[in-house]
Every structure is written in structure tokens, then in C-alpha cells.
Amino acid sequence: MNKDTPVDIQGRRVDQTLCDAAAALASLPQAAPRLEAELLLIEATGWARTRLVAWPEAHLEPVAAARFAALLARRLAGEPIAYIRGRQAFWTLDLKVTPDTLIPRPETELLVEIALELPDPDRPRRIADLGTGSGAIAAAVASERPAWQVIATDRSADALAVARSNFRDLGLANVRPLSADWLSPIASCSLDLILANPPYVAAADPHLDQGDLPHEPRAALTPGPDGLAAIRRIAAEAVRCLRPGGLLAVEHGFDQGAAVRGLFGDHGLRDPQTRHDLAGLDRVTLGQL
Ligand code: GLN
């Protein structure tokens, strides 16, 4: 037995292992203890979740127990569960994620919902997802709207490689990864819709030191001292790239709604509106050219 193992599990039953691991994980501020214990045990054993539930009295093989102990130790040291598993659920998809990409959040699905509100779903459209990271937003929209051409930009080559691998694994032929700093290589007046979950946390925000955030790419979380710097640039470039009547929808912090509506208006986007996430907080602002 490795004396660094935080929970004594070798040769133990599945139910005891999960119970002890969940108790240990409850010490982490933002963990979902039981779910995470199950996900780590699935990762360590290769078993289906139904098997963990249906056969709680099964004993773990020593190799699986050791793997589980190692994964649990990483999680207890604060590493995000998504990076340990290398996967994250988003929309209807199961996506590859690495420390080169932000971990897709449930509140970001609001951007996908807004895209799907556009009328005439079968009409061909050109849309862009800026700073795509793992490709989550682009992949979700492309999977729901096969008639649309989706461009997924990122300036990080490592993030774009993850996005490309997700698009390929999901068999999405209508989404194209593109190395770009926001919209710089995109033709003027060429897009019907621009979506972005840009960095919007101000560099001094203590939230950057909490939960999963210290493990995520800094450049995907914060644009620097001014949390609105990236959104300001996106708004300025979007008005060049949108077709007349085109839409820009951008995710932002819960306290940035009024400021984002203001800067959308300053750039000539009409009727900026802010939508709430599931927690009832300002999360996405949209405006029309
Ligand atoms: N929603 C993330 C968080 O605050 C931030 C993501 C971003 O900056 N785009 O946890």
C-alpha cells in the first residue's frame, strides 16, 4: 500500500470505496463528491456506471485500486475532474478537454440556445465561434444545424488542436477550425451570427484563485486588468464582419451586463439585450447590426 494514498482502498468493495472517496472529496470547496467518486472509479476500472451501481459488493483488483488511489489523490490536490478524465459534457456532447482549453460550463449553453433561436433552421448561414477553446460552442451549434457553416477561431494552436480533434471525433463536417486572433482574417460582411465566450474576469479578481480556475489557461479567463478588454475588441471587429441584420452574442460576468450593452451600443449594435443564466444572473448580451 502506498503510504501517500489518502484513502485505504486496495482490495476493498466498490461501495465502501465510493463512500470513503466521497467523504474525502467533500473537503474540496466546489466538488460534487459522490458523482466525482463514481467518475474517477469508472476511469480507474473502465467499468460502466451501471456496473458500479448494480454490483456494489464487487472487490477492486489491485491494479484498478492503485489507479483509483492515484486519480483520487490528484483530485484531492485540486486538479479539475474534467482534466483528470480528459472529458467534459457540454450540450448533448462528450468533449475532449485538456489544460490548454477552458472547461466548458453549463451556463455557456445559453449561447447555443440563442443560436438555435434563429428562424429557418435549414437556411444556410455562416457563423463564427470566437476563442473556441475545446470547440464546445461551435460543435454544439454545428451538430444541431447541419445546414450552417461554422468557423471556430482560436489564437492558441494547442487549443485549436483539441477543437479539431473534437470536430473530427464527432464527425462534424460543417465546422472549420481557424487560427485567428478574434476576427482578424474573417471577410467583412460575411457572417450571420458571431458567438463568443471570451476571457472576461479582471486580472485582480480573487475568483481566479478559486475552484478549477487556477488550473485553467489564464488567457482564456482574463484579458488583463480590464475585464471588458476582449469584449470591447470583439464588438469593434464584429460590426465589420456581420452582415446587415447579423447578431453578436457574447458571454460575460454577472456584473458586466450594463457595461456590455453600453459598448455594444457605442459600436452601432441595435437593441442590446442581456439574458440570464439558470442561476438568474446576467450572462449573455446580444445585439444586432
Ligand atoms: N465563466 C467562467 C468563470 O467565471 C469564466 C469564463 C470566461 O472568462 N470566459 O468561472
Place of cell 472509479: 41
Euclidean distance between the first and the last CA atom of the chain, given in angstroms as a whole number? 64
Q: Is the CB of 197 under 6 A from ligand 1?
A: yes
Per-residue pLDDT at 7 = 55
Nearest residue to 131 via CA among 104, 169, 93, 149: 104
Give the C-alpha distances (Å, rounded to integers) separating 164 from 132, 151, 171, 187, 244.
10, 11, 11, 22, 30
Q: Is 268 a known ligand-binding residue?
A: no
78 Cα–ligand 1 center, Å? 18
- pLDDT-derived band at 3, boundaries 50, 70, 90: very low
Distance between CA 71 and CA 39 in Å, rounded?
10
Ligand 1 nearest-atom number relative to CA 102: 6
Per-residue pLDDT at 1 = 43
Judged by phi (left if over 0) then psi (alpha if -120 to 50, else beta), residue 140 lies in alpha
200 Cα–ligand 1 center, Å? 7
Write out pLDDT tens, residues 191-234.
Answer: 999 999 999 999 999 999 999 999 999 999 999 999 999 999 99
* Percent over 70 (pLDDT), the chain: 97
Per-residue pLDDT at 6 = 52
243 Cα–ligand 1 center, Å? 28
Q: Which three cell numbers stand for residue 113?
A: 440556445
Write out pLDDT tens, residues 257-286.
Answer: 999 999 999 999 999 999 999 899 999 999
Q: Are 155 and 179 in contact (CB under 8 A)?
A: yes
Per-residue pLDDT at 30 = 81
Distance between CA 115 and CA 134 in Å, rounded?
18
Look at residue 136 and tell me whether its pLDDT is greater than 70.
yes
Question: Which residue lies with its CA nearest to atom 6 of ligand 1?
Answer: 221
Arithmetic mean of pLDDT, 76-94: 97
5 or 127, which is more confident?
A: 127
Per-residue pLDDT at 29 = 86
Contacts of residue 173, defined as CB under 8 A and 6 or more positions apart, other chains included, come to none
Per-residue pLDDT at 31 = 80
Write out pLDDT tens, residues 8-56.
Answer: 555 789 999 999 999 999 999 888 999 999 999 999 999 999 999 999 9
**Bridge-based pairing state of the strands 149-154 and 175-179:** parallel
Look at residue 100 and tell me whether its pLDDT is greater than 90.
yes
Q: Is the CB of 201 under 6 A from ligand 1?
A: yes
Ligand 1 nearest-atom number relative to CA 213: 10
pTM assigned to the model: 0.93
Q: Is 181 a known ligand-binding residue?
A: no
Using the Cα atoms of residue 50, residue 54, residue 57 and residue 58 in order, give the sign of their dihedral: negative
Per-chain mean pLDDT for the chain = 95
Nearest residue to 20 via CA among 2, 11, 8, 10: 8
220 Cα–ligand 1 center, Å? 8
Residue 76 burial (C-beta neighbours within 10 Å; 0-12, 13-18, 19+):
middle
Arithmetic mean of pLDDT, 100-109: 97
